[in-house]
Amino acid sequence: LANATFVILVRNHELPAIIKSLKQMEYSFNHQYHYPYVFLNDEPFTDEFKEWTSNVVSSKVEYGVIPHDHWYQPDHIDEDKARANRDAMVRNGVIYGGSVSYRNMCRFNSGFFFRHNLLQKYRYYWRVEPGVEFFCDVDEDPFVFLQENNKVYGFTISMYEYESTVQTLWETTKEFIKENPQYVANDNALGFLSDDADGESYNLCHFWSNFEIADMDFWRSEAYMKYFEYLDSKGGFYYERWGDAPVHSIGVGLFARKDQIHFFKPIGYRHEPFQHCPQGDIHRKGKCWCDQRDNFDYQP
C-alpha cells in the first residue's frame, strides 16, 4: 500500500449524499485496500454523522475541523469591493456568483487542505465529494500507480472554466512566472492551458477537481506554495471567483512535467451533470455499469 488517504470536505446535512459516495467507493475499490478516510468540515461533525460514516467503510476514519484562517475570508480583502463584484456576478447569472462560502471552499481546496494536521502524515490523497458515483471495479491501486510512476496528479474529466470567474487569473499567473521563472518545469503542460506557443492567453482548460488522485507533496512544494500565496495576496478568490480546479490545473500544468499528469481512464466517475464512462474493452474489464454513450471525453 501507498501512504495515502481519502479526503472528504463535507457538511453534516450532506450525510445521505456522502453515504452514497462511500458505499460506491467501498464497493468499487476500498473493500480490497482499506485506505483511511479523513473528513473535514468548517464546524464539528455530529455524532450521527460520525456513526453513519464510520459504519459503512472498512477502514480507519478521522474527523477534523478546519482552522478559522484556512476557511474564512482573510482580513486583507476589501469587503465592499468584493461585495460589489459578487452582486455584479449575480446580475450576470454566474454560477455561485454571490456565494462567499463557495469562495471559501475554493480557496481552502486551492491552498490549505493539504496543510490540515490530520493530513500531515499522508502523501497521496483521493478527493471524494457527496453524491458522486463510481461505476467500475478499480482493481489496480491508483495510489501505488502514482508512486511507482512518479506521477503527481490524476484526473478523469477535464473541461473549460467559466471565463467570468477567472478574468485576471492568467495575468496574475504570468506576473508570478515573470518574477519566479525558476519554478517552471521543463517539458510542462503549458500546451494544455494555452493555445498560444508563448502562453500569452489561457484557453480555460482545467481538470475537474472534484475528482483528484494526487500527491500532496507537490502542493506542499516551494513552487506551488509560493504560487498559491501570490494568488491569495491578489484577492482573486474573493474579488472574482477563482476555482480550485483552474488553480490546481495551472499549478500542476506549469510546475510539473506533463508526463507526471495522468488520465485515469479505467475509473468510471460521475459528478452531476457530467461523467467519464470507460469505453469498449475497458468498460467490460472493469464491469462498469455506466452507459458508454454518456461520456464527457474528447472523441476524435
* 181 preceded by a cis bond (ω within 30 of 0): no
Half-sphere exposure of 14 (CA within 13 A, CB side): 16
> Whole-angstrom distance between the N-terminal and C-terminal Cα of the chain?
36
Indicate which residue of 200, 212, 222, 229 is catalytic.
212
Measured CA distances, 70 to 40, 112, 292 (Å): 12, 6, 40
Q: Is 161 a catalytic residue?
A: no
Which of these, 161, 163, 169, lies nearest to 238 by C-alpha position?
A: 169
Cell numbers at 116, concatenated: 490540515
Length of the chain measured in residues: 300
The β-bridge partners of 160 are 205
Cα 253 to Cα 173: distance, rounded to the nearest angstrom: 12
Cα 156 to Cα 158: distance, rounded to the nearest angstrom: 7
Cα 64 to Cα 39: distance, rounded to the nearest angstrom: 6
Cα 240 to Cα 295: distance, rounded to the nearest angstrom: 31
**Where in the sequence numbering do the catalytic residues fall?**
212
